[in-house]
Amino acid sequence: DVKVTQSSRYLVKRTGEKVFLECVQDMDHENMFWYRQDPGLGLRLIYFSYDVKMKEKGDIPEGYSVSREKKERFSLILESASTNQTSMYLCASSLRGAGTNEKLFFGSGTQLSVL
Amino acid sequence: GQQLNQSPQSMFIQEGEDVSMNCTSSSIFNTWLWYKQDPGEGPVLLIALYKAGELTSNGRLTAQFGITRKDSFLNISASIPSDVGIYFCAGQLNNNNDMRFGAGTRLTVKP
């Protein structure tokens, strides 16, 4: 079974702090994604990566950055956390290729609260 | 980008009832997918649809890719308590990462 592991289930941070959310997948997937989930808004794509050291902006990249130094690990960074970044963050991965790109495997999520 | 409208937002049903939810878009998609999120977990893929008009089943779940390519629906027959969760539709136009998600349908099943 594909396993996507997010390092924390719950995080509480203060406004202005730098926050790191870590995600690791164990199935050698090329594609990795970061989404945020907010009630009534569904899942919105923040950043994604097709390969090591590669990153692309999603729909809502402002206030975030990412790092992909190794194929299995994709980190989301909040440079200076703000209260409007309080949300559930979901990491996902997929295998590159027609018929597999779109089949996302999600982690269990990190509920981040910024006070 | 394309907007997905998913309805209903929430449903409260009795165990054994059938459920229907749908998703519509202002633009066409080439792929429609349905995910389910159990409480406290990430979404899990239920069904993927690749052709207009396609009807696909997965156990008690049936999903269809609309003929216009702008909509999809998901039916659950004979609901059981473990069907509880949030169901998301997702649409993708090209074979890259332009997938869009609906806002979700929260399903509650009363025993």
Contacts of B47 by beta carbon, 8 Å cutoff, 6+ apart: B33, B34, B56, B58, B61, B63, B74
Q: What pLDDT was estimated at residue B99? A: 83
HSE toward the beta carbon, residue B110, CA cutoff 13 A? 4
Q: How far is CA B62 from the centre of its chain?
A: 10
Q: A49-82: per-residue pLDDT in tens?
A: 999 989 999 999 999 999 999 999 999 999 999 9
CA distance to partner chain A, nearest, from residue B76 (Å): 21
Torsion angle, alpha carbons of B14, B35, A110, A65, to 10 = -150
Chain B residues touching residue A98 (CB < 8 angstroms): 95
Does residue A63 contact residue A57 with C-beta atoms inside 8 Å? Answer: no
Contact B42 A90 (CB under 8 A): yes
Question: Beta-carbon neighbour count of residue B72 at 10 Å?
Answer: 28
Give mean pLDDT in consecutive 10-residue pieces for chain B, a chain of 111 residues: 84 97 94 95 95 95 96 97 96 77 95 89
Q: Which helix (H) or strand (E) holds A2?
A: none
Backbone angles phi, psi at B106, to 5 degrees: -90, 120
Query: Residue with structure tokens 């390969």?
Result: A51
